[in-house]
Chains A and B, each alone.
Chain A
């Protein structure tokens, strides 16, 4: 395809299509650059279940070893497990081989610093500089290390979470839970985790050696099978994870997806009731989080889109929780990253403490309609388009943190250029679908210069 570039080197790591742009040479060089950045020492390495995992992981290990790092291979593990383990063993860094919610032909490297946090913007920039410089301090043969294996990462990760929730209370509710792990990194861990919480588990996507049976992004249109399973089995709740199990979507007992925007709102409502404090979310996250925070008199801090921005703000504000509307829940006391296991535990604990169904629990929070549209827009036209939008809404409450967002008391509309494609994403959220549609249409007209 002329003009299409499948390689993306950015703040969240390196991503490409296997057999096209994500070559072992490139992966090896990035790993060598990362090892140069961290310095010699143990580096934990995990992967999701993609068929390209072994090729990419071996290239990662070769690059790390060549600059004096000692890879600790965690095997197939969720991304949050890599970050949790990194902190537990005091590694100098971590790499997860996963393209997360992207389709199976993709793979990627996510890089974590010694604090277990995905590299911050300036750190990622330094890594990229080292890569582009292309000069790595290779160690002599007799000083290169070996690859260690550590299969305890999942156990330790789950133990941390189980120790933080009221297991007995959840067990007493004897919930029947339907899961869809998408044959991803959590295929073995999720059933074990839920069984430890006394749940009866019925599941889909539990074959870690098979390709993804669905698009891994846990959005409603990809969850038809799980919804059918819930209805067939009469489950109390359904959980869907993406390929590396950092994100979670919830489906109700009737087999209706709540939408991935509800995951953070449900978890936040449960956490804030016990631990009030500021909540952090990115600018694109549903305003349900504002309603939940207001219920407990807590402020909401918005950040630019990108997990690391949310994590940084959480730490700066000492927030008990934060996250993203894509189903990412972050509880810093448990793990400094999006963690679908943390999200499941909190939502089950909330459900166990609530006298009613997951649908009724969800209805404790106001509902909104959210609509999205992608407007084709070349890189040179982005600036003028956003300026037109700003001018049109000059007297309205503007938020210019990331793109342009206009926030009214019960609705908002936003235009953000995509990081990866020549488009502007227009999003609106309002009490009704019609209102949201009208807002998207109006903003699109301003953007296009109508």
Chain B
């Protein structure tokens, strides 16, 4: 596994020799230079290494003459909101997001509150590599500012996107696992305003993770185990920096993250019809929901930046991914777990249970797997699949995605590890099983360089 990943969407690494404060300072200096010493909104998640990273970022930004508007512990969507509200030149989130406790990362936001796109990300990387940073002299150094009023205004912004009255009438009991991340206090106030009773779990902003932070089914077992005692209508897991959501039914069944986007889409499209954007790896459930509302679905390569960019270009009303990250467009410029949770509550406002809502969605069996593949063989392996499925006219914008009337297949190289990722979804269990088995077998052979089939 690589311990450091420097890419156009930010820099991410295992804290220690690789992700060290000097590297963080260099990136903060590069960003400070990119915003030409303008004001930068800064927030961090709760993990222990974020204190170290935060100090390094502040030092780097200040040295470039930036005014640092420090939100302290704050989820990424709040930082994004504050960048726009305060008309800052950019934003910086110090968060390992859904990665485990050993990791941390810098997410860079542009003046529109969105993660830097590929072009701008390249500029930042060039600046980092050049080591040619803006350096303010003593008289050009700015103090550190705070903006505590942003919390209240952000909550008002979230409420404005929801049917508050409908949700209030339901008086839902909502159990939320915050993974001791950034959203505990915010969610308490939000759910109070929505007339819900919050039953919190891991709500202290200590950064001590009781389980890995990604809101996957496996990581929601603790929450699911408590559901029957809590008598909650809904269980939710919010990852450490508040961009991804996971859901558990009242009957303590953890749902795949794939359900979040289609569940949130139904109330959004009902009140504000428009296109939906998602990535090539996300379940076709969203197609069914959009079709019911008479709306198109556009697909992009995997990554928050891709779906948001396309979403804005298509004037979409929702953009999201199968990982549980959803952005309400055009308001949000990042995935926002609290707002997504609000939409799920709105979906339940009509009286349905979460399991009932899930029951209305088509059930598409999905299989996910990965095959270790040396980096030097990855390209050839993908090329092999491209030829193999040539007659099905695959989409090759991100790995290779093949669509049949009753199934689809997505094969791509992992961004972080020397792995080929395989995702298959089909109309029936049998078809999914057969397709997945075939593709995995082919992938294993391709991964050792064999071209025989």
Contact = CB atoms under 8 A, between A and B. Distances in A.
Interface of A: 17-20, 23-25, 27-29, 32, 50-52, 54-56, 58-59, 61-63, 65-66, 104-105, 107, 136, 138-147, 211
Contacts of A105: 137-138
A58 B136 contact: no
A358 to B, nearest CB: 36
Contacts of A146: 48, 51
Contacts of A32: 21
B139 A28 contact: no
Contacts of A19: 63, 135-138, 140
A58 B135 CA distance: 16
Given A62-B24, A147-B51, A147-B55, A54 B17 contact: no
A141 B21 contact: no
A141 B51 contact: no
Contacts of B63: 18-19, 23-24, 55
Interface in B13-58: 14-17, 19-22, 24-26, 29, 47-49, 51-53, 55-56, 58
A141 B101 contact: yes
18 contacts: A23-B135, A24-B25, A24-B29, A27-B59, A29-B22, A52-B141, A54-B144, A55-B63, A55-B141, A62-B53, A62-B56, A65-B21, A136-B20, A138-B16, A140-B15, A141-B48, A141-B102, A142-B101
Contacts of A29: 22
A62 B51 CA distance: 8
B104 interface: yes
B20 A54 contact: no
A23 B47 CA distance: 27
Given A65-B52, A139-B16, A141-B14, 19 more contacts: A20-B135, A24-B25, A24-B63, A28-B22, A29-B22, A51-B139, A55-B58, A55-B59, A62-B24, A62-B59, A66-B20, A66-B52, A105-B138, A141-B15, A141-B96, A142-B49, A145-B51, A146-B51, A147-B55
Contacts of A28: 21-22, 25, 56, 59
A144 B48 contact: yes
Given A28-B21, A63-B21, A104 B138 contact: yes
Contacts of A66: 20-21, 52
Contact of B62 (A54, A107, A141, A147): A54
Contacts of B58: 54-55, 58
A146 B25 CA distance: 18
A141 B49 contact: yes
A59 B29 CA distance: 12
B215 interface: no
Contact of A65 (B16, B51, B137): B51
Nearest to B18: A138
B59 A24 contact: yes
A58 B59 contact: yes
Interface string B134-166: 011111110110000000000000000000000
Contacts of A20: 135, 137
B25 A62 contact: yes
Contacts of A136: 20
B143 A144 contact: no
A145 B54 CA distance: 12
A418 B441 CA distance: 75
A264 to B, nearest CB: 31
A50 B62 CA distance: 14
Given A65-B55, A104-B138, A144 B144 contact: no
Interface string B111-142: 00000000000000000000000011111110
Which has the most chain B C-beta neighbours within 10 Å: A20, A23, A27? A23
B102 A140 contact: yes
B60 interface: yes
Contacts of B25: 24-25, 28, 59, 62
Contacts of A139: 16
Contacts of A50: 138
A62 B49 contact: no
Contacts of A55: 58-59, 62-63, 141
Contacts of A143: 48
Contacts of B48: 141-146
A141 B51 CA distance: 10
Contacts of A59: 21, 25, 55-56, 59
A149 to B, nearest CB: 12
Which has the most chain A C-beta neighbours within 10 Å: B55, B63, B101? B55
B59 A56 contact: yes
B357 to A, nearest CB: 37
A65 B50 CA distance: 10
A139 B140 CA distance: 34
A144 B138 contact: no
Which has the most chain A C-beta neighbours within 10 Å: B59, B136, B143? B59
B385 interface: no
B103 interface: yes
B145 to A, nearest CB: 11
Closest 8 CB pairs of A and B: A141-B15, A141-B49, A19-B137, A59-B59, A65-B52, A62-B56, A62-B21, A55-B62
Contacts of B140: 19
A23 B14 CA distance: 25
Contacts of B101: 141-142
Contacts of B24: 62
A67 to B, nearest CB: 10
A29 to B, nearest CB: 6
B21 A144 contact: no
B59 A144 contact: no
A25 B16 contact: no
A221 to B, nearest CB: 22
A278 B56 CA distance: 47
Contact of A62 (B55, B62, B103, B137): B55
A211 to B, nearest CB: 8
A146 B49 CA distance: 8
Contacts of A104: 138
Nearest to A135: B17
Interface in B38-89: 47-49, 51-53, 55-56, 58-60, 62-63
A142 B26 CA distance: 23
Which has the most chain B C-beta neighbours within 10 Å: A20, A25, A32, A105? A25
A406 B49 CA distance: 58
Contacts of A61: 52, 55
Contacts of B51: 65, 144-147
B52 A144 contact: yes
Nearest to B209: A142
Contacts of B144: 54
A48 to B, nearest CB: 12
Which has the most chain A C-beta neighbours within 10 Å: B26, B48, B102? B48
Nearest to A146: B51
Contacts of A141: 14-16, 19, 47-49, 96, 101-104
A52 B141 CA distance: 7
A211 B59 CA distance: 20
A392 B185 CA distance: 79
Contacts of B15: 138, 140-141, 144
B26 A25 contact: yes
B141 A58 contact: no
Nearest to A134: B22
Nearest to A143: B48
Contacts of A52: 138, 141
A25 B56 CA distance: 9
Nearest to A24: B59
A164 to B, nearest CB: 37
A52 B139 CA distance: 9
